[in-house]
Structure 1
């Protein structure tokens, strides 16, 4: 990889050092700027799920849209459940549907409800890259899926040649944040036709802090 691990660690340290103290734990984010890529061609756009080796730093909010066995499995894990009946109620209130799409980071859905989800929530979930992970209606153990989602970030390359991704929180170890950054960067590079040659620059920042360039 063209980016040296130590250079990534240094950028993480500087981004954290330059961030002013806030009354909340800031997310550490990265921006990967690309070059020589024609985004008018659909084949050059992509969506990715990347499992961060050291997790997100804070647990994402996960909701389960299901009835029956999947709903019961979700309740056992203490997850918020949206029933098929509640889903139909959302169809009457676009404002509530929009708020729901914003409130959660990930959705898991029982397969039989997907047509309704597409109809009632698709316009709110799709643009946010939050369409649900689909599971069989008889699934009784959601724990492996939930544990994976807790470490997952979703990224996409759409209209602009830059990919943004959270890589953890400012209270995480610098080395661990750098490893998370590498996982995201490698996933992006693997999707590019000419790999790292199409990476123009990489920046690290906290939620409210200035961006720091990763030197090559």
Structure 2
């Protein structure tokens, strides 16, 4: 099993960025962790980890909030993409719910409004893999919005692999390597044999060629 050092990861990321240059938009840098000896239909395959990238996501992620009163006001002040109150939820139809689900990368919901949020927005959020995140009334909303703006979901779907964006091509390879290590750390703790269940790691830009570490 190879040693996934920061230097080795940064080198592979740098090559992937170089191979992917020339697009007219800012590409994401994607990390693909190929698993081995993991049954994706079993308990070991049920991996869904929220990972806050230490060096940031590289581009804005939309954090929306469902709350009332003081918490809603603080969310607006903190720069939430969208703030919905319990009254707002009452008038949302299926078409509007789909639009909201498309706008929001994360939806933080005050705990007492989780049930109504699930009923109104759940059918639109579910297929997109965007489960609402419970938000205590006493939460540091500014800190949480900043945190989730730089948080990604590392999960196994129907194949024995995890594919997650760790930043953008204009970031330093070393910073992207730090983000990759954060993802690896989170995933390793959930695997039966830790790093022994990782077959290989590949990096690529959105439209670029894959580079194996």
Tell me the TM-score normalized by structure 1. 0.90
Following superposition, the deviation at residue 125 of structure 1 comes to: 2.0
- Residues 19-168 of structure 1 correspond to what in structure 2 (within 5 A)? 19-79=20-80, 80-90=82-92, 92=93, 94-137=94-137, 139=138, 141-168=140-167
Deviates further, 182-191 or 122-131: 122-131
Partners of 1:15 and 1:189 lie apart in 2 by 23
What is the rounded CA distance, in whole Å, between the counterparts of 1:115 and 1:199 in structure 2? 38
Q: 1:97 & 1:145 partners in 2: Cα distance?
A: 23
Shift of 1:128: 2.9
CA–CA separation in structure 2 for the residues paired with 1:2 and 1:192: 17
Counterpart CA distance in 2 for 1:117 and 1:8 is 40
Question: How big is the shift at 1:43?
Answer: 4.8
CA-based RMSD:
1.8
Q: Which runs of 5+ in 2 are unaligned?
A: none
Superposed displacement of residue 22, structure 1: 2.3
Query: How far did 1:158 drift?
Result: 3.1
2:113 alignment partner, SS class: helix
Q: What is the CA deviation profile of residues 185-211 of structure 1, one whole-angstrom value per residue up to 9, with x for unaligned ones?
A: 121111100111111111111112121
- Alpha-carbon distance between aligned partners in 2 of 1:78 and 1:167, rounded to the nearest angstrom: 23
Structure 1 stretches of 5 or more lacking a match? Answer: none
**Whole-angstrom CA distance in 2 between matches of 1:140 and 1:46:** 26
- Please say if 1:4 is aligned against 2:5: yes
Given that 2:44 and 2:192 are in contact with CA atoms closer than 8 Å, whether structure 1 keeps it comes out as no
* Cα distance between partner residues in 1 of 2:161 and 2:139: 39
Give how far 1:55 is off. Answer: 1.0
Q: Distance in 1 between matches of 2:75 and 2:38?
A: 42
* 8 Å contact from structure 1 (residues 18, 210) kept in 2: yes
Deviation at 1:98, TM superposition (A): 1.8
Query: Equivalents in 2 of 1:141, 1:188: separation in Å?
Result: 27
SS at match of 1:186: helix
Q: Following the alignment from structure 2 to structure 1, what is the Cα–Cα distance between the partners of residues 122 and 33?
A: 28
**Partners of 1:184 and 1:136 in 2: how far apart?**
26
Query: Which string of whole-angstrom CA distances, capped at 9 and with x for unpartnered residues, describes residues 174-193 of structure 1?
Result: 11111111111121111100
Deviations, residues 93-142 of structure 1 (Å, cap 9, x unaligned): x23212211221111111221111111222332343322222234x3741
How far apart are the structure 1 equivalents of 2:151 and 2:135?
Answer: 17
SS in 1 for 2:79: coil
